[in-house]
Structure 1
Amino acid sequence: MEDRLAILTTLAYGAALDDEKWDAFLQACSDLVGGGVRTCLFGYDADARIELGARQFGYDPAYQLSYAAYYSQKDFLAARLMEEGPGRVVPYGEVWNDFGLRNTEFYDDWVRPQEDIIGGCSVLLFKQEKRLFAFSGSIRSRDSDQLERPWQRIVTYLTPHLRQAFEVARALAGAELEKKAMVNVQNPARTGCLVVSRDRRIVFANRQAENMLDSGELVRSDFRQRLLFADPTWDQRLGQILASRILTTPQTLRLLNDLPTPFICRIAPLGSDDLGTRSSGMLFGREEPCFLLTISQEHDVPDIGERLRNRFGLTPHEAQVVLHISSGLLAKEISEIRGTSVHTVRNQIHNAMSKMEVRRQSEIVRIVAAMRNPLLQ
């Protein structure tokens, strides 16, 4: 048995690196007790009572679809887990007895038709406000006497390893997101990266973003881990952008907020597919709208615009456009910030590139980077 448990832990850590391998882990867990347990890893929102994505083995696919579409709102088992601390194994018998669920629609229409799967247990692996990620196994009532205790021992053994594997998956998913977010960023080491849901819940924040949240000068979080801008005007604008049902392209905010240097906040729609193979690392559903935010200083050296004007003969507007380009902004985003047309911005970019004797915008980025840091010249 110990050798087979060791194999399960190896599978769990492997799945932390590749989300697709959770299926093999779940099947191996069931096989360890002769296939008599239906296993599942799932996320759940206790406020909205919706599933946030699940991987399962042994369940009827039609019932899984009906759960996601309807019965998740009737599931007191998942809601009960929110009352527990992470790591405690909760036998289903406790929940059925506490809530009298045998008299509910959830039992009559979903549990009993699946061969009365009232046995088994769940364990909360991670909790964030009203959202959870859990591991569970369901046992048919006729198999409970034989399988209940061995299955609980297996879950108890696996729990610390699963919690660690889940944290690894979260860290890797965050790193993958951060890498995507920093593609067009001039100074990644000083750029905050966040993922937020439509209701502003912070799903992920890199170290720079955490520092910004801690300082509270630009952004902060409330007691429910919702993102707020310190400036009420920009906070209202953020709410409008997140509430938009047709946001398909990045939006840009220029944050002044009485700080010495303006900040740029880029907001882009984010899908679960953007997470690659590690979507279990984030607590949001595959159909749930989420947004990727990057926050960075507009430029790092106060006199950089003046130096650009003196060196290349740029106009003030052309120098400003060059700084925006060096921050990774597109012409459309620059036009929104400055309140001018895209045509005007493109003309200014063309004129600046001509004066700087460059043919690609990437060369502008390189020149500005070298002016900020002489070691790059």
Structure 2
Amino acid sequence: MGEAEHAQRVGEEIGLAIDHAACDPAAWDTVMAEIGRLLPGVWPVLQVVDAAAGTGLPLVYWGWDPAAVAAYEAHYGAVNPWISVILSTPTMVSMHSEERMPASSLRHTEFYADWLSRLGGMTASSGVKLIDADGRLAVLNLQHDLARASRAHGRLAAVMERIGPRMRRAIETNRACFPAGAAFAAGETLLERVADPAFVVTRDLRLVEASRTGHVLLAEGDVLRVGALDRIQARDPRLAGAMAREAALACGGPPMGGGMPGPVRIGAETWQVTAIGLRQDLRGVVGMARLLAPDQLALVVLRRAAAESGGQDRLARFGLSPAEVRLALLMDGSRSLVQAAESLGIRHETARSQLRQVFAKLGVSRQSELAVFILRLKDRA
């Protein structure tokens, strides 16, 4: 079987699990298990950092020793030399460790000596950055042995290209529908969970059902309206193009080039569009209308994007005090908390207390999450 055929078959099987996880965040464990089953010799791990929304998620993985994951979350993720490579790589572009930062170049680092070298030979990886925007980062990593790095390079890249856009859309739906990670209440539908304007549509944007805020946006008519044949029409051509592209991709369009469309500024507001495909068996998504709807449906969500500001100002907007801002900006993975305390001229106990406040206010729970957030702030400063 050729690489393209293999990627299509594997991608579709994994994609079914991804679609389920879009409407049930607890199902990401099943997605990782499917990747491990269909790609033997690979340990998948998904990391999502969403400090801007205060909903940082734990690592989701398969095949890993939980002790190794716990050590990564507690310390080694914050000193991972690969963070800089991940942040500088565009979304939806496959990364391979032996091409970008081979294991042999890391032997002198604490990360390699005390963590990577103890993974039983699994010292190479392939990965793809799914999301990198507004203080949020999502990365899929496929850990494997060194021999596989050259042998399966093309195959892993092809699979990631197939499933990457689908995973990104599922993560965006999790964020829109499950901001606190809560499960569905009895009788609750997916649309009822979405605070942002959301619409169940066909591939050509015919409206099937809308969320409460979606109905409000349509009624106002300034951004969207319902036109002929019940199709949703955006008054701004850029927003119209983003919605059409996302709906088509979510309904089974070509997987290539599936990065998120950029924000669309309309007057004083900036909108971000995302969409996922919906199966007909999803519980109560479109009520009785699903009996008459076509097989291919998409959930299109419009979010008002947050405006960017400087790193210090942005941290202050999260409620950090000036002292907490100074400490947070030092915690970019380049130094330990002890070293940061020394640099600021404060006691280690004081730094620990401030760091706990930083974690609470930013909605993160690990130094690795904080390091990614701070590096991204500095990168955009």
With structure 1 as the length reference, what TM-score do the two structures score?
Answer: 0.46
Larger Rg: 1
Higher relative contact order (CA 8 A, sep 6+): 2
